[in-house]
Structure 1
Amino acid sequence: MNKIAPFLTCLLLASASAWAADPVRHEQLELAQGAPLKKLSGKLKGYGTVEYRLAVPAGGALDLKLKSANRSTNFNVSADGADEALFVGSRDGDHFAMAAPAGAVYKVSVYLMRNAARRNEQAAYVLEANVSAPAAAR
């Protein structure tokens, strides 16, 4: 029995990283200033996440709105490389708007909250993305 315990411990530790890995789908998107509204649609299941990288041109204003029938669907927005989110959907709601500094890239993560992910729920969503000219230039 003493020889089996270390083997089982090693096996458990080796498989832990596979259990911890959540499926993340990455998508790159460039929004032209003044271009028509983009509707990004997708589906989530369980702990799955869709991560959009949005390149916003200098001086543009970024506007995002999430629509889903599942109330546990949320999104976060963070600047590329930042440790903290600028916007946390579970706290801040389903609409995000801000003026972007020169040549900013933002990461938008769409996900199910833990309560729904634990139950392996599914959710279809539409993320409306728009980049407009700054208010002073209108």
Structure 2
Amino acid sequence: MKLHHALIVLAAAFSALTLPASAADKVTTEAVHFTQGASSATMKGSFSGYDSVQYTLSARAKQTLHVKIAGSSNANFNVFSPGDVPGAAQALGAGATGTDWRGELPADGQYTVQVYQMRASARRGAKVPYTITFDIR
């Protein structure tokens, strides 16, 4: 009986090591490019479950960034300062569908805007189509 129990534990441990790569949360990173002379850019996307999209854009200290997201009511975003990593640092700002964020930027560098959905809808695997607009002045 002890051998049978040990084999079950060993099989469970082995199966945990062989999970497919798709079992991990997918993080997609996209650079935001402004056309010459433009101060805003709009991008469309979608994701589902615990996946997320991280938009990167360069800006200077004292500029004002305005972020607006539309689409699914599950679409949320966080804004991170240069050098700050989503999940490891506090966000500079946040917003959601119907709740824009606008703020003066504290430093020169590359900002990250993380688009995600809350855990309750992510757990259900909800698909989140969205349109996000970045405006820098």
Gaps of at least 5 residues in structure 2 are none
Cα–Cα, structure 1 residues 32 and 55, in superposed 2: closer, same or farther, change >3 Å? farther
Q: Does 1:87 align with 2:90?
A: no
Aligned residues: 129
Overall identity of the aligned pairs, in %: 30
- Structure 1 unaligned segments of length 5 or more: list them: 133-138
Partner of residue 10 from structure 1, selected from 13, 37, 45: 13
Distance 2:70 2:95 in 1: 12
Tell me the TM-score normalized by structure 1.
Answer: 0.77
TM-score (norm 2): 0.77
Letter in 2 for 1:85: A
Answer whether contact 1:30 1:56 (CA < 8 A) is retained.
Answer: no
SS in 2 for 1:89: strand
Which of the numbers 81, 96, 120 marks the counterpart of 1:115?
120
Deviations 1:100-132 (A, max 9, x none): 234232111111211211111112111110111
Q: Does 1:46 align with 2:62?
A: no
* Residue 76 of structure 1: aligned partner: 78
How well do the aligned residues superpose, as a CA RMSD in angstroms?
2.7
- Equivalent AA in structure 1 for residue 92 of structure 2: L
Q: Which moved more, 1:29-38 or 1:6-15?
A: 29-38
1:76-122: CA deviations, max 9, x gaps?
111133311122336xx631111123423211111121121111111
Alpha-carbon contact 2:53-2:114 (below 8 Å) kept:
yes
- 1:77, 1:85 within 8 Å by CA — same for their partners in 2? yes
Q: Which amino acid aligns with 1:89?
A: G
C-alpha separation between the residues in 1 aligned to 2:107 and 2:25? Answer: 32
How many angstroms apart in 2 are the aligned matches of 1:59 and 1:88?
Answer: 18
Residues 1:100 and 2:102 are matched in the alignment? no
Relative to structure 1, the CA distance from residue 65 to residue 98 in structure 2 (aligned partners, 3 Å threshold; closer, same or farther) is same
Task: Give the direction of change, closer, same or farther, for the CA distance of 1:127–1:14 in structure 2 (3 Å limit).
Answer: same
